[in-house]
Structure 1
């Protein structure tokens, strides 16, 4: 214990762990089957069933919710496993404060729920129990999932080559897509754009031909909710990226690639011509609410489910409003692709067994329960007879659940279902409350496999030294890229006149060192495949 306490209090460790769990409401809304094999392995009975009662402490912090072991899903799990939970996380403060208090105490509970990188960072210092040798006997369901999902297994493997974390795994592929005002297209006699040039011409028509019919030039052809980098949603039209991507088997940084110059030049032109929201850096998350409600928003690249819902929301005030998903416009090179894809570990969450646990095997048997058919249904749908009923052998949400404005929030608060504990989501839970239009878009993107593999950089696990170095070097690079890109976008400086100096400055800021670290971690990831 003394050794572990000294490790947890190490300044280097504290520096790399100051961050909170992520994952938003729609972030839990994917599309069918994320498995490499295309189907989940058959679940077997939990080894934890019919065992002696066991009381476990666990850490799960939420600033917004009071999470405890009395939540209905945990009570139902206790009936099946004999295991009861008590949450020892503090109340009040933010995620980072609560996490750092836990580390400083040195007294880790039996189960620790947190973000994957944070768990793996303390794991390699001896704070968590490696699971590799325990999986076959104590977690057959979780092991079967990993055997059928090599990418997930590789992504959760820590930098020392061991598995410590049972992750929260999303189910699906489609995440975001292109949407356009079909009613505006119809009014102007236009078809859905299929190429970057056609998209430009449609946006130009939206701007100049008064599709909302109010006699004002107030249309905003393209907009984004992302106030920081929403303009970069358009970059794939020129095969560019604002982030890391894969190229020739290596990880590269988008702004350092030649395509970025073209994308920056073209988006600046579109902005100057009024095709992109003039307030793109200030509207933020309310952009859809404002622009669609005012009948001025024309097109957006955004989440499938919530974006399609505006067709229902605006029916009373704008009965002709018709927002439809379209295929990604072909890029300048003729490629049709979507850059976003459901990351099965996108919520960056899971739980692990601390080195303080008296019987790690018994704890792991409990964690495996959530990967059984019974446990997965409990985790996804809540309590039978209360939040769902069984129809033709499948769980179907009650009308009360489906009528909730935020289904995921409701499930978490009332039952604990959809908490980001170690388990596997089931797309069927989300399919039931998703707009039909959104489901059509999801199907279009999945059936056509629009997802571009070069944009899908996997989740990587860094050593403590690597993580520390990245946190030292990359923030100045990112800040410089964003400031310069926004300056170009708004016309404060020409891309042509300063791009070479921009690339040189990235080199001065030691981008090469960052890329070397990323590619070292990527090589480790590939070795685990």
Structure 2
């Protein structure tokens, strides 16, 4: 029967059937492509993900907190930890090779390789998705803007305090030498001198140094001292929209001379140019140095010094002027600590992206925030009757919890009162920094030349700065390096930032 009917269709009927079938198949194909890009997702589905993350401690964490995070977020996480000391090389290599993960922690937002990779379309634009999540939608517009490149947001911003920089000084050493907490650069210099020459630990030996430091101009003492001198943060822009790099200002030169004087007299560690952050911390914890740059690390410094320093007293300091009574401190990315980015090579559909965004959103929930900050209540930390937070097992906390603290998508959503008066004071001073934080005007802007050559050109200035500090070049030599920077592409970067700034004001 069916055969007879088909025979009676004739050629025209057959063509009609074939046309209908072709339209149906095309529709199916289009639907498949559409599903690939915009299919719905189940926020409660089991998620398996990989995370290329930065490690700020000597060793990766145990699985104790990882297991809690996985249970809360219904996920299975495979971490690829990159040591902070080698993150620039490792991350840029991963970007170049395409050997990435579902989530990539990108903290070097001024790195030209990172910015080029973001602009190339390697990562998803997440801007239009954030408002679909209860925690992510609370990210302020100014933070989203600061984390964007030409208006495109290539990842979830790490929310940080606006400016965390400041000093940690040995208060017991100040007291022993009859010195007050410094408030000016001259007073700070005298403290560095006394901590080096006047036997602050009272052991009868000349075995201490004022400043401990490390091979990172941004997070070493230099950037903070530069702020105290009133140097612009990265770039200066005047009322006419003219841009000047920080290292081409009188204030930067004054910082160079001040730092050179510290180095020449032995008031800063002689090996600072080859010292890693963890070694800088150990030097302070062991009583070899008395001034540390980074108020945010005050608890870690105390923990590291347990059993090594008797009578240790620390004081955080955030207000040092150049003598005029005015305060300045550089802002780290205008409150943005980087991005949690999602490479399209690993995250192939919108549905996958949305599930990962749900995971990041869940990390901001208070329960996970406390897991990543304190660990397990009663095991790692406790809350006293006055509502103050206290670590109760430092060794266990360092092994299980500490590496996760720097992985929190937000450090500002919840506020904990610290039981340690030193840390609580540091927290209050970090908030106070908002009143005189100096922002980098280029954070939301873009320069093609900076993306392509910025890191390479930066080395010209970094090398010249180190050489000046260590007395291997003079003012003329440094200015020659600045001209070299301009002639090698820096002048073009200036022009491009000025054009981008002008465009952003329209």
Scaled by the length of structure 2, the TM-score of the pair is 0.68
Q: Out of 157, 172, 177, which is 2:161 matched to? A: 172
Map of 1:115-194 to 2, 5 A cutoff?
115=106, 139-141=132-134, 144-146=137-139, 149-159=140-150, 161-163=151-153, 165=155, 167-194=156-183
1:187, 1:211 within 8 Å by CA — same for their partners in 2?
yes
Map of 1:369-518 to 2, 5 A cutoff?
370-371=360-361, 376-382=365-371, 387-388=376-377, 403-406=396-399, 408-409=401-402, 412=404, 419=407, 423-425=409-411, 428=414, 435-447=420-432, 449=434, 451-454=436-439, 456-457=440-441, 459-460=443-444, 462=446, 466-467=447-448, 469-495=449-475, 497-498=476-477, 500-518=479-497
Counterpart in the other structure of 2:69 = 73
Shift, 1:187, TM fit = 1.9
* CA displacement, residues 119-167 of structure 1 (integer Å, 9 cap, x when unaligned): 986676666665566666xx15256324xx11222134443x44453x1
Q: Which has the larger radius of gyration?
A: 2
The answer to which structure has the higher helix fraction is 2
Shift, 1:196, TM fit = 1.5
- Whether 1:271 aligns to 2:263 is yes
- Superposition RMSD on alpha carbons, in Å? 4.7
Shift, 1:471, TM fit = 4.8
Map of 1:201-280 to 2, 5 A cutoff?
201-226=190-215, 230=220, 232=222, 233-240=224-231, 244-248=234-238, 251-280=243-272
- In 1, the alpha carbon distance for the partners of 2:467 and 2:198 equals 29
Structure 1 163/94 Cα, relative in aligned 2: closer, same or farther at 3 Å?
Answer: closer
Counterpart in the other structure of 2:24 = none
In structure 1, list runs of 5 or more residues that go unmatched: 2-47, 79-83
Map of 1:8-47 to 2, 5 A cutoff?
none
- In 2, the alpha carbon distance for the partners of 1:126 and 1:211 equals 55
- In 1, the alpha carbon distance for the partners of 2:311 and 2:95 equals 50
Q: Out of 335, 338, 341, which is 2:326 matched to? A: 335
1:128, 1:355 within 8 Å by CA — same for their partners in 2?
no
* CA displacement, residues 169-220 of structure 1 (integer Å, 9 cap, x when unaligned): 2343452321222222222222112111222233333344332223333331
Size of the aligned set, in residue pairs, is 440
- In 2, the alpha carbon distance for the partners of 1:515 and 1:86 equals 42
Shift, 1:245, TM fit = 2.9
